[in-house]
Amino acid sequence: MTRFSLRILKGLFGTLEYVAPSLAGSMAFRLFCRTPNPARLTDKEKRVLALSRDFMRGARKHPLTTEHGDVVAYEFTNWGGRRDGPAVLVLHGWRSRTEHMRVIVEALLKRGFRVVSLDLPGHGASGGRTLNIPKAVAAVNAVAQWFGPFDAMVGHSFGGAVAVNAIAGSVAGVPPVPARRLVSIAAPNALPDLFSRFGRFAGLGPASQKAFEGCVEKIAGAPVNAFVGAQQLQDLEIPTLVVHAPEDKEVSASDARALAGSGAHVSLVWAPGFGHRRILADPGIAARVAAFVSTRQERRLEGETARTLEDCLPNVD
């Protein structure tokens, strides 16, 4: 958005604050949920897609029709295409897609997992031009019905927040998607903070801001202040790894600290020097993520003695 366009937008919202704040709130919400045009790629994004071309050819592409539109999931397997092993769901961030999660997916494959990666609505090969937490959680639930259960979820940025909310079952009418472990990479903590920052950016007045935040409750069945990752993780109590670059300019390191403060079940790993997006391309970080996901943990199976995840996996270097 250009400065001129932003100035016009703020002027419009300033007027609507006094004559139609509910309209201003709904307009702001539509703008907040609008996704970037997937056809307009930067040179860097084009290079990422080119480097991932062979990698994507090895995936099974699954177009799915959901109540919220059409989405695409990619299924990656190893060792002759076995599809009966433990599965991990991988979720990308805003203005991203499955190709950006390649290094993470490859590390998980080396550990013997079957990996499912979802192009969130309005991103990659999935349809639409809008995305929000309720729509994303519904898409995750649909994918889980087809390809679950998932042993773990790994989410980057917005995808990390989606994973937490999907596991927590925070959206009314959408059942929780269970997972044994969770990895959150460069993910935001609190949706209310994002709404406040956007409101200041757009120049919303108090009444318009209230209407803007009220749009969340209308579609999610819960107020915006219910969507705080640290509180949700505290209630979930599943082993969680938080990975964050301290100098991240898009999502503050304070978000990572808040998530890590949820309890002893949450571990925080700093990745200095990698920023918000380059953190996904480092093989060392990807290996750390995959190792955490595959960490030995006893689980008692019905009618069997206790086994571990690694007992069920092939012997992989």
pLDDT digits (tens, 9 = 90+) for 243-274: 999 999 999 999 999 999 999 999 999 999 99
Q: Rounded distance, CA 116 to CA 262, Å?
A: 27
- Residue reference for tokens 């002759």: 80
- β-bridge pairing 60-66 and 69-76: antiparallel
Q: Rounded distance, CA 135 to CA 84, Å?
A: 28
Report the sign of the C-alpha dihedral through residues 39, 45, 51, 57, in that order: negative
CATH number, domain of 235, equals 3.40.50.1820
Cβ within 8 Å of residue 297, ≥6 positions away: 180, 181, 239, 308, 309
Label residue 4 by pLDDT band (50, 70, 90): confident
Q: Rounded distance, CA 208 to CA 214, Å?
A: 10
Q: Rounded distance, CA 156 to CA 34, Å?
A: 19
**Would 11 be classed as within a structural domain?**
no
**Would 110 be classed as within a structural domain?**
yes
pLDDT digits (tens, 9 = 90+) for 209-235: 999 999 999 999 999 999 999 999 999
**Would 198 be classed as within a structural domain?**
no
Which residues form the domain of 155?
A: 61-190+227-296
**Would 28 be classed as within a structural domain?**
no
pTM score: 0.91
**Would 6 be classed as within a structural domain?**
no
How many domains, the chain? Answer: 1
